[in-house]
Amino acid sequence: EGDVPEALGEQPRRLTREQLFTLVATASINFSSMICYSILGPFFPSEAEKKGASNTVVGLIFGCFALVDFLTSLILGNYLTHIGAKFMFVAGMFVSGCVTILFGMLDKVPSGSMFIGLCFLVRAIDAVGFAAAMTASFSILAKAFPNNIATVLGSLEIFTGLGLVLGPPLGGFLYQTFGYEVPFITLGCVVLVLVPVNMCILPKYDSVPSKDSFWKLILLPKVFLLCFTIFSLSACLGFLDPTMSLFILKK
């Protein structure tokens, strides 16, 4: 008997060059976006308090990021096939890097409503960039790893966790050593450096429009339960962002 023919559609065990570059690019956005998000925790609430923002307003500044991220992801997902996944990915990183630097300049803004308004505006734009990059990255990963997307997404969560872990201590150290501007300028420049790198290494994948409805998907009992679980866990973590540093400083 002859050799058994290789099964159709079977992927090689080793990663191809395109798959490896895709992993590096998506890991970079997971890590950089989370470290930029979490860097505010140790010092921004106290700085905002000096600028006349109440604890409630500080909480809203943190919360507006997630709200705009959620709404923007829904919108950009519908236009992903028209814009292109790679362009949306790179453009999102560029926007996120620029507004991270801008956030570091807000200490120069006069206290009061102008400071608060610009905080909301910059955080909202940052959320748009983050949503664009992450929405595109999910589409790219689904095309690059169609048979093991769950394993790949789970592995990339390592870099998300690293960003959340390293962000607060790094932000606190840079703030204590160099002042308010340096943490944001440093990380913003790092993100901007990653933009041309990802432009070169990230393969171009064509996004295929889906005929399934988002609302039909989210209303499925299992999916709804998972969404509620993620919402609850995120709320528990997000509750600490605007309050923990102020509580520790008072103690």
| More confident: 68 or 14 | 68
In-domain check, residue 10: no
Q: Give CA–CA dist 113/111, Å, rounded.
A: 7
Domain containing 107 equals: 17-250
In-domain check, residue 5: no
In-domain check, residue 105: yes
In-domain check, residue 12: no
> For tokens 């996120």, what's the residue?
96
At 153-172, the pLDDT tens digits run 888 889 988 988 898 899 88
At 61-78, the pLDDT tens digits run 888 888 898 888 888 888
In-domain check, residue 9: no
Residues in the chain, overall count: 251
Amino acid at 158: I
Domain CATH code at residue 195: 1.20.1250.20
5: alpha, beta or left, given left = phi > 0 and alpha = psi -120 to 50? beta
Residues with Cβ < 8 Å from 163, sequence gap 6 or more?
Answer: 30, 31, 32, 33, 34, 35, 36, 37, 38
Query: Does the reported pTM lie above 0.85?
Result: no
Domain count for the chain: 1
Q: Give CA–CA dist 146/162, Å, rounded.
A: 26
In-domain check, residue 116: yes
- How big is the CA angle at 170 (ends 164 and 176), to the nearest 5 degrees? 140
pLDDT at 240: 67
> For tokens 């501007």, what's the residue?
181
Strand ranges inside 74-148, DSSP E: none
pLDDT at 238: 67
In-domain check, residue 202: yes
